[in-house]
Amino acid sequence: MKTLELFLERTILAGRWLLVVFYIGLGVALAIYAVSFVAKLAKVAGSVFVLGDADMILAMLALIDSALVASLIVMVMIASYENFVSRFDEGESDISWLGKLNAGSLKIKVASSIVAISSIHLLQVFLNAQQYDDTKIMWMTVIHIVFVVSALLLGYLELVMSKLK
């Protein structure tokens, strides 16, 4: 019976390596998104003398939004790999700049990134308020507030859990 239990445990632990497929997929998605970013940047650069101030601000916000999404992908890839699959070898890759992200702090960073991305989208809506009806703006604001409250609650729960340890 102990042999069967040991086999099951090893099989379950080995299953974590299937997550690598998802992280490679995120890497490919990041490369595709980088191409999309370069296309957006080229479009903005080509329109630099045509766009007014408000349109230029909107274009810059779209680029910032893209950078935040790309950073979120990288953060999830690296932290998830290290938390759920395998630790990075200290000698081969210097990731000390990343800091140690456990599952709780990763959730907080992801929630914070979502709030930042939502903030940029909401700012874009406010700058183009004439294109949206009041009900849509209200719902976008409510959804953003839900993201903010969720991030705050996650942060509070992580603080409480860290004090219990």
Q: Return the SS3 of 120.
A: helix
DSSP 8-state code for residue 101: -
Q: Give Dmax over CA atoms of the chain in angstroms.
A: 75
pLDDT of 100-120, one tens digit each? 666 677 788 888 888 998 999
β strands within the chain, DSSP E: none
What residues does each domain of the chain span? 21-164
What are the phi and psi torsion angles at 153 (to 5°)? -65, -40
pTM: 0.74
Task: Say how far apart CA 162 and CA 159 lie, in whole Å.
Answer: 5
What mean pLDDT comes out for the span 97-102?
A: 60
